[in-house]
Structure 1
Amino acid sequence: MFYEPAKRNHGLPHAPLKAIVAPRPIGWISSLTPEGVANLAPYSFFNMISETPALVMFSSQGAKDSLANIEATGEFVCNLATLDLVDKVNLTSAPVARNVSEFDAADIARAPSRLVKPPRVAAAPCALECVYVETFRPRGRDGVEANAYMIIGEIVGVHIDDDAIIDGRVDIAALKVISRCGYLDYAPVDRLIERERPPGGGMDMKARTPVA
């Protein structure tokens, strides 16, 4: 089959595009309203975009509370979403009033951050404390801004559960990090394959062996 996304002429009961561009990591974003109410919401348009400086982004379809909070306060946290937390992640996607905290509504324990004010998800094995950098509005080929807001933040602090580190590496498979696969589907990362890169082909994987 072939279809044009702008025409939505795929003829299927559900649009397939987000299931094709998958799996996608989930940014479980915590932020604070200016009044101090803790917000928590999942975003599947999420990724790291630079290592130096350490930049992460998530994209909101529409101007949602996370965007307003982050632009107002300048801080947020990306919490790692894992298989044991998938139901909690799903619950925090429900719309609630701005004066209601998803932490409370979904019965999620908080943990304090060190360098930013928004709390972390206590049960998340990893969390990235971020300082807001900018909001980017993408445009289509016609030059019209999409109803999408890409929020970029610089990672200033990283929390890692000690039990998540195996042989000097964060064991993503053991943590069973979840990804979004389109529709209502999620998948855990529970198996990894390793390949050494060709010489000169980006980071040399052999170089990760610590030098005494």
Structure 2
Amino acid sequence: MFYRPEDGHGLPHNPFNAVVSPRPIGWIATRGADGSDNLAPYSFFNAVAYVPPQVMFASTSAKEDRDGTKDSVSNIRDTGVFCVNIVEYAMRDVMNVSSGPWPREVDEFAKAGIERADCHTIPCSRVAGAPANLECRLTQIVKLPGEANFVVFGEVVGVHLRDDCIVDGRFDVLRYEPLARLGYRDYARVSELFSLKRPGES
């Protein structure tokens, strides 16, 4: 099968999301200029640089009560900071609650019953029990083609690692089983690892 996206795919559901998978989930916490907290998951998310450490996430839809985007991007525009919370399999249900199309005044931490804690380097909340939290300062927001497509880049200025996830000096993902997004309504969890050496490595 071959299709041009501009012509449509002819399938019952868009296959693009399923092709580019699995994708890590960035559970983005922001605080509005009015002090209200917001928490929402984004599966267009990844790390993009080591030095300095940087991450990105993309928002691809809009809400009626925001100016052409969603709460996360709007809040980051106002404050210049955000926190990425890493999602573990055990948090799948509360993460899903926070993904709802709630009005801007709804606090997803409270809505989903998620314990929050203060970040150390930025004025923002974080998910207290997450395996890791990345405190970020905005570096740039890039507008992509399409009505509501924005990519947010941030420099990581503070990192929280849950103590039980550090094993023999390494951050051990099997201690919490990362949740990943597949296509459609499908998700996966990382529960098995293997290693490969790059050519030339000893």
Scaled by the length of structure 2, the TM-score of the pair is 0.93
Corresponding residue number in structure 2 for 1:56: 55
1:108-147 aligned at under 5 Å gives the runs 108-139=114-145, 145=146, 147=148
Distance 1:146 1:196 in 2: 43
Q: Please report how far the alpha carbon of residue 147 of structure 1 lies from its aligned counterpart in structure 2 after TM superposition.
A: 2.8
1:157 is matched with 158
Q: 1:51-105: per-residue Cα shift (whole Å, max 9, x none)? A: 1121100000031110010110011000010100001111111011212110111
Structure 1 alignment gaps of length 5 or more: 140-144, 207-212
CA distance in 2, matches of 1:99, 1:56: 27
Q: Does the 8 Å contact 1:174/1:190 carry over to 2?
A: no
Q: Report matched runs for 1:39-188 at 5 Å.
A: 39-62=38-61, 63-139=69-145, 145=146, 147-188=148-189
Q: Which structure has the larger Rg over C-alpha atoms?
A: 1
Residue pair 1:136, 1:151 contacting (<8 A) in 2 also: yes
Unpaired stretches in structure 2, ≥5 consecutive residues? 62-68
Contact 1:128 1:157 in 2 (8 A): yes
Q: Distance in 2 between matches of 1:5 and 1:53?
A: 36
Q: TM-score by structure 1 length?
A: 0.89
Deviation at 1:7, TM superposition (A): 1.3
Q: CA deviation at 1:135?
A: 0.3
Note if contact 2:164-2:175 (Cα within 8 Å) is conserved in structure 1: no
The alpha-carbon deviation at position 146 of structure 1 amounts to 5.3
- 1:7 and 1:48 map into 2 onto residues whose CA distance is 32
